[in-house]
Amino acid sequence: MSSLISNTDLTLQLEAILPDCEKVTIISAFMTRSATSWLGRLISNNKPKVQLIGRFTPTDFAKGASDLNALRDCINSGYQVKALINLHAKIYQIDHDTIFNGSANLTGKGLALVNNGNLESCSRVNACEQSKAFINKIVESATELSINTLDKMQAFLEQFDDADETELPAVWPEEIMPQTTELFVSDFPLGKPGVTLNEYQLNSSLPFAQIENAKDDFALASTLFKQTKAYRWLKKQITENQSERDLGFGQISRLLHDALADDPAPYRQKIKDLQANLYSYLKLYASDEIELYMPGRRSEVLRVV
């Protein structure tokens, strides 16, 4: 049975393992130079394959939660650096048999490498095939970054040097970082319209966090909703699967369960909750494109207007 350890203990264990490893995969929402430099020193002799996957939104860099120069150092050192905008996980996989999962980011405070570090916790996870497949899915779903991409990010951020922080977009323009094609739970509304959620406060780049932030501007909120992967996926299902009958709630639930990339997939009830939330947003912001109605006593069905 695994037990909880502090981030100080995590750092000590990593310092014992990393100098002799062959592969390192670190999934961390935030990354800063103090931690990436620490990592580089530990693996300088054995030079393992390194994969770093972070969230890396414009706000993360503007607030200093992540560091562009740290990522430059990593790419120049031959590490693979990737971004996944809905990322919140913190996972350290060393070779194939050692996995730590917890709350510690790859930052100075997250790993207690600096004074006044955070108090974090983690545990050693069984490196079963399911755990390794979950990590591999995150890596595959993320977008790889290059020095050229970082240059574009920096140029984009410099446009907002004198602007209020609230004016900074939550996500990058498509020409800098295209959206991933995979569909995740976090691409869907985690609550009904107008409901304040902690998840949205923690990650303002989530699509429905952006919609909630724009709810006082109906036209903008509607545009943002119609741009979400969840809505575009739903509209595609209606167009491609509609034959003689309009798609009912149960049919959409089954299609959604098969489409989600989260591993393991959510339980059926959670799927239905996400779907019901999406329908609420659809009624509010996209009734001009998709009609949702209830024929007789049947469940709600959809059709393109």
Q: Please tell me the predicted confidence (pLDDT) of residue 245.
A: 63
Say what the pLDDT of residue 181 is.
79
Tokens 């020409």 identify what position? 175
- Are 156 and 172 in contact by the 8 Å Cβ rule? The answer is yes
Proportion of the chain in helix, strand, coil states, percent, rounded to 5: 45, 15, 40
CA 82/CA 144 separation, integer angstroms: 4
Query: How many CA atoms does the CB half-sphere of 267 hold within 13 Å?
Result: 2
Element (H, E) at 247: strand 247-248
pLDDT at 242: 64
DSSP assignment of 254-300 equals HHHHHHB--SSPPPHHHHHHHHHHHHHHHHHH-TTTEEEE--TTSPP
Cβ neighbours for 101, distance < 8 A, ≥ 6 positions apart = 89, 90, 91, 92, 122, 123, 125
Reduced to 3 states (helix: H, G, I; strand: E, B; else coil), residue 220 is helix
pLDDT value at residue 243: 61
Q: What is the pLDDT along the chain (305 residues), one digit of tens a residue?
A: 567 899 999 999 999 999 999 999 999 999 999 999 999 999 999 999 999 999 999 989 999 999 999 999 999 999 999 999 888 889 999 998 899 999 999 999 999 999 888 999 999 887 888 888 889 989 998 999 999 999 999 999 999 887 676 778 888 998 999 877 788 888 999 999 999 898 888 778 889 999 999 999 999 999 999 989 999 999 988 888 766 566 788 889 988 988 888 766 677 778 999 999 999 999 999 999 998 887 765 677 888 87
Give the pLDDT of residue 196: 85
Residue 194 has a pLDDT of: 93
Q: What distance lies between CA 236 and its chain's CA centroid?
A: 23
By DSSP bridging, strand 49-54 and strand 23-28 are parallel
Per-residue pLDDT, 285: 96
The 10s digit of each residue's pLDDT in 251-295 is 899 889 888 887 666 777 789 999 999 999 999 999 999 988 877
Is the Cβ–Cβ distance between 301 and 275 less than 8 Å?
Answer: no
| Per-residue exposure over 83-121, b if at least 16 CB sit within 10 Å of its own CB, e if not | bbbbbebbbbbbeeebbbbbebbbbbbbbbbeeebeebe
What number does CATH give the domain 4-158? 3.30.870.10
Contact 62, 35 (CB under 8 A): no
Cβ(304)–Cβ(238) below 8 Å? yes
What pLDDT does 264 receive?
64
Residues of the chain with CATH 3.30.870.10: 4-158
